[in-house]
Amino acid sequence: MNLYITEVKIKDGQFYGYTEESIEGYEATGRMIVDSDQHSFIYLLDNGKSFDNLHFVQETWGMLHESFEKHPIIINDTLELIEFKDEMNDLLWNIKGNDNYGKDFHEAVEETFKLKDE
């Protein structure tokens, strides 16, 4: 199943993301992947039967860039995404300058997350 972050905000010093679907019964896995075709960072959620994809689409990247290093990532006010900072930093390091992800994707990531060499 694919779940999408449709709203993001910072409140009480924490990053909050919201989905239209319920996340009841999900557990954070501490693992992330990307969908470079859809320009999406994906956090894997475990529902006890399968892994489902929680998408951070490109429209959310700006707030994510400003927040993920400093704030926990909380989904629907209840689920903290463990290991998010480390996983995100690993992905960013791997994407930088890497055309294997597709030129459009890696350039968009580099621009939003300020990865270009000065």
What pLDDT sits at residue 118?
47
What pLDDT sits at residue 14?
80
Asked if residue 65 is part of any domain, the answer here is: yes
Contact call for residues 72 and 14 (beta carbons, < 8 A): yes
Asked if residue 68 is part of any domain, the answer here is: yes
Asked if residue 117 is part of any domain, the answer here is: no
Among 19-23, 93-97, 113-117, the minimum mean pLDDT is found in 113-117
Rounded Cα distance between 52 and 65, Å, is: 23
Asked if residue 118 is part of any domain, the answer here is: no
pLDDT band at 117 (very low <50, low <70, confident <90, very high): low
Tell me 26's DSSP state.
-
| Number of domains into which the chain is organized | 1
**Containing structural domain, residue 60:** 2-112
Contact call for residues 42 and 34 (beta carbons, < 8 A): yes
Whether the per-residue pLDDT at 32 is higher than 90: the answer is: yes
Mean pLDDT of 57-61: 95
Query: What's the mean per-residue pLDDT of the chain?
Result: 93
**Full-model pTM:** 0.93
Asked if residue 80 is part of any domain, the answer here is: yes
Express each pLDDT in 35-58 by its tens digit: 999 999 999 999 999 999 999 999
Tell me 64's DSSP state.
H
Express each pLDDT in 64-99 by its tens digit: 998 899 889 999 999 999 999 999 999 999 999 898
Mean pLDDT of 1-21: 90
Rounded Cα distance between 77 and 113, Å, is: 25
